[in-house]
A and B are shown apart, each in its own frame.
Chain A
Amino acid sequence: MTDLTFLTATELAPLIKSRQLSPVEITQHTIDRIEQYDPVLRTYITPLPDLALKQAKDAEASIMRGEYKGPLHGIPTGIKDNYFTKGIRTTVGSKLFSNYVPDKNATTVNKLLKSGVIMLGKQNMHELAAGSTGTNPYYGTTRNPWDLNHMPGGSSGGGTAALAAGLSTLATGTDTFGSIRLPAAMCGVYGLKTTYGLVSTHGIAPTAWSLDTAGPMARSVSDLALMLQSMAGYDPKDPASLKVPVPNYTHNLTKGIRGLKIGIPTYYLQGLDPDVEQLFRKAVTTLQTLGAEIKEIDIPELSMATFSGYAIVSGEASTFHKKWLQTHPEAYSPDIRSFFLAGALSGSTQYVKALQARRKMVKALRKAFKEVDLLLGPTIPFTTPAFSEHWLQQNLDVVQKSMPFTSPINLTGVPSLSVPIGLDRNGLPTGMQFFGKHLSESLLLQVGHAWEATQPLTNKLQKA
């Protein structure tokens, strides 16, 4: 009997379609694992085993009637707890929303349910999607399945840790300044930060409106493509939603990368941990072996990303939270409260200057994309840290160190795919990110698929 635990959606789908595997079987298997391992890993805030089993039985009945919906039908999926779910508590990882039960689903939740996914539960996240360690004093700190003493990253760390531990097949994430890519890198899975506006954020609790994006996370690139196919598309309820055609994201997956021009901004080679640098250099050599033409490229404008990222995230978040900061300040962790209060203290001139810097960075990337097809850099410059007893300061430190690497992508609105590149000296995964022009998701997935075929973590996924 095949162990179902780490099969991808791409592998499960034909089994489900051909009725060799029931959605009930894979769902029950995953629920059993959640019950066994999640008391320690804490990847879920609200597991939904009864609902998941009901959905799985409905899916099984549909498929038996010949009503197969497609490759997501019957696939166990975790939903980050900042996606609104009708009638189901949505905490946003915060004490502030501990009893919040939305009366509607996020648009993306509706889309995924329509595609037939099984909703396993609401996954853990860093408080208010405003931190990067996965520490959560209210719902339990998520632990990295590769080493329980290490952080999973955040803010979508519940999802990436669940994927790495086989506690879900697919997971949804959000990315405002790295919240999909950073935990994907730390947990050794794949995460796609989408073009701003490609995936609706209607019904997702905002962190910073002008940067927030939603996207897929999975154990394979082809699974990301399947999820994106369901999640992408125009939504009149989201003012930032793009009215653009949605291509077939699986169509070009196997095209390879021979002849593609990839630029490495020299900005992304500064301040790397020696392990990250070594793994990244090795990955670059592998990409060259696959036929990519790689060269270093200067984009000095990226040096403004840290300022711009801090000013915009903290400014917009403090605006959204101002009323609650005034009335319920004790409902915030001190690090998150301080981050937001700092945003309230930074002036509007700083905010506007940050928006000017954004335009400058977008123009600089457009210029770069006339020379190369894609850009590439480490997802984060440091290896996955162990938890510190000084967790408040540690979260602010991780944000500070990752912001220069993650925020340029959010500030310019381009898509970015984080892929694993190997293990550091402590046996923890690290990652690199490809990023491309606006709406270049198909190309990113094509390149990611070719990279995945090099098996960067073969035989290394922890079988928890």
Chain B
Amino acid sequence: MIDPNFIKQGLRFQQLPFYETDLPFIQSILFTMKQAEMATSDFPHLNAEIPITVVDKRLMV
């Protein structure tokens, strides 16, 4: 499970609120994300991919 102190300190650092009752929800979501991230290890060349970003061509050209 995700360390509660990481969550508390991370939120405080960003001046975001922390409610003790939110803790299990946040832990659960971060844990889901962390577990799901493991699927990316099946693709060792993922870092060769350029991230998809929203680029407004009318501003860039």
Enumerate chain A interface residues (CB-CB to B < 8 A). Answer: 209-210, 239-240, 300-301, 303-304, 306-307, 310-311, 314, 322, 325-326, 329, 334-335, 337-339, 341-342, 344-346, 350, 352-353, 355-360, 362, 392-393, 396, 400
- Does A357 lie within 8 Å of B11, measured CB to CB? no
- Tell me, in angstroms, the Cα distance from A395 to B21 when the chains sit together: 16
Q: Which of B5-60 contact A (CB under 8 A)?
A: 6-7, 10-11, 14-17, 19, 21-22, 25-26, 28-30, 32-33, 36-37, 39-40, 42-43, 46-47, 49-54, 56, 58-59
The count of chain B contact residues (Cβ–Cβ below 8 Å) is: 35
Query: 6 new A-B pairs (CB below 8 Å) besides A306-B39, A355-B51?
Result: A210-B53, A303-B39, A314-B29, A314-B33, A329-B17, A341-B11
Residue from the list B16, B28, B33, B50 in contact with A307, Cβ < 8 A: B33
Number of A-B contacts (CB under 8 A): 112
Which chain A positions have C-beta within 8 A of B16?
A: 322, 325-326, 329, 341, 344
CB pair B58 A356 closer than 8 Å: no
17 contacts between A and B (CB under 8 A): A239-B58, A303-B39, A310-B29, A311-B33, A314-B29, A326-B15, A334-B21, A334-B25, A345-B6, A345-B10, A345-B26, A350-B37, A356-B52, A358-B52, A360-B46, A362-B52, A400-B32
Do B39 and A335 touch (CB < 8 A)? Answer: no
Across-interface contacts of B19 in A (CB, < 8 A): 329, 334, 337
CB of B53 within 8 A of CB of A355, answer yes
Q: Which residues of A contact B32 (CB under 8 A)?
A: 306, 310, 400
A338:B22 contact, CB within 8 angstroms: yes
Separation in Å of the A440 CB from the closest CB of chain B?
19
